[in-house]
Amino acid sequence: MAERIVLALGGNALGNSLIEQRLAVAAAAVPMADLIQAGHELAICHGNGPQVGMIDLAFETASRTVSSIDAMPLSTDGAMSQGYIGFGIQKALYRELRDRSIEKMAASIVTQVLVDPNDPAFTNPAKPIGSFYTQEEAEAIMQADPSLHFCEDAGRGWRRVVASPEPQEIIEIEVIRSMIECGHIVIACGGGGLPVIRDGNGLIPWEAVIDKDFAGELLAERIDASLFMILTAVDQVALNYGKANERRISSMTADEATAYIAEGHFAPGSMLPKVQAAMRFARSRPGRRALITSLSRALDGLEGHTGTMVTA
């Protein structure tokens, strides 16, 4: 049965250097085209952590030596990353689909996502982004601009930390929905979307990073998808992950997932948000389900051969 599917693709799976990215995106087009060829409708949301880091560092470095170049705000870095990652996916899908005599088009939407400036996440910014600094450099920057926060990041140096608020609304949702209804493939909410808050009739960018797993979940609800697929580096979710008694699970209910979370099976910042997003989607309406699996095994997972299916 043909389904409407939202794919959330891990940013780390997209590679770090430009050549890695090109190869990773070309490889990603194959499982995406498998799903399209099987008759499914697709909206694609992707991560951008390494890519935003690269853009931010490039402008920051250039701004120190070229007076006409400014360091970029996070929102502009994010918009650039949505553009060039989307371009890569469009190019790769164009070729892959035509190689299979499928005439469908994919296009990217630079997507803004509304956040609540009173979100509790803003009182405790915790998401590390951008380049590494020494403690002295970080303290000097914080003194010059008290709105910026820095933290020590896992022994690797000091990094800027920003809040990771909940996505409230996808501003361009009607555009995305009409593209899907017309049979096009949409790439949207890249990097979790560009966070904005309302300002009268306008929108203003807000320094934050939205988790792409939660933005993808909201996208899946808003376009009334039946399946939300979170594609990452592992084939299945595991209990006791990385330990001798590791056990992979092929399905769990949202209640079972709640119990596993309480037992601490899913690492915060990596598997935990995926499981939470999957549960949220499964509970959002009867019949909806979410699948966590690897990119290369997306179709296998959909056919029940691998992956972890999360149901209400």
Point out the residues that are catalytic: 11-12, 127, 212, 274
- Min dist CB 47 to ligand ADP, Å, is 5
Of 36-44, 107-115, 186-194, 237-245, the segment contacting ligand ADP by CB under 6 A is 237-245
DSSP secondary structure of 27-94 = HHHHHHHHHHHTT-EEEEEE--HHHHHHHHHHHHHHHHH-TT-PPPPHHHHHHHHHHHHHHHHHHHHH
Contacts of 127 (CB under 8 A, 6+ apart): 161, 162, 163, 164, 209, 269
The DSSP letter of residue 169 is: E
- Min dist CB 291 to ligand ADP, Å, is 14
Is residue 250 at the binding interface for ligand ADP, with CB under 6 A as the rule? no
Name which of 94 and 241 has its Cβ closer to ligand ADP.
241
Binder among 233, 258, 264, 305 for ligand ADP (CB under 6 A): 233
Binder among 40, 160, 265, 297 for ligand ADP (CB under 6 A): 265
The DSSP letter of residue 241 is: T
Q: Enumerate the β-bridge partners of residue 127.
A: 162
Is residue 47 at the binding interface for ligand ADP, with CB under 6 A as the rule? yes
Is residue 215 at the binding interface for ligand ADP, with CB under 6 A as the rule? no
Name which of 274 and 288 has its Cβ closer to ligand ADP.
274
Q: Supply 184's token pair.
A: 């096009």
Is residue 232 at the binding interface for ligand ADP, with CB under 6 A as the rule? yes
Q: Other CB atoms closer than 10 Å to residue 199's CB: what's the count?
A: 9
Of 109-117, 139-147, 157-165, 263-271, the segment contacting ligand ADP by CB under 6 A is 263-271
Is residue 266 at the binding interface for ligand ADP, with CB under 6 A as the rule? yes
266, 234, 292, 38 alpha-carbon torsion, rounded to 10°? 180
Helix, coil or strand: residue 96? helix
Is residue 12 at the binding interface for ligand ADP, with CB under 6 A as the rule? yes
Is residue 18 at the binding interface for ligand ADP, with CB under 6 A as the rule? no
Binder among 271, 290, 298, 309 for ligand ADP (CB under 6 A): 271
Number of residues that bind ligand ADP (CB under 6 A): 16
Alpha carbon distance 77, 58 (integer Å): 10
Element (H, E) at 278: helix 271-284
Per CB under 6 A, residues contacting ligand ADP are 10-13, 47, 232-234, 237-238, 241, 265-267, 270-271
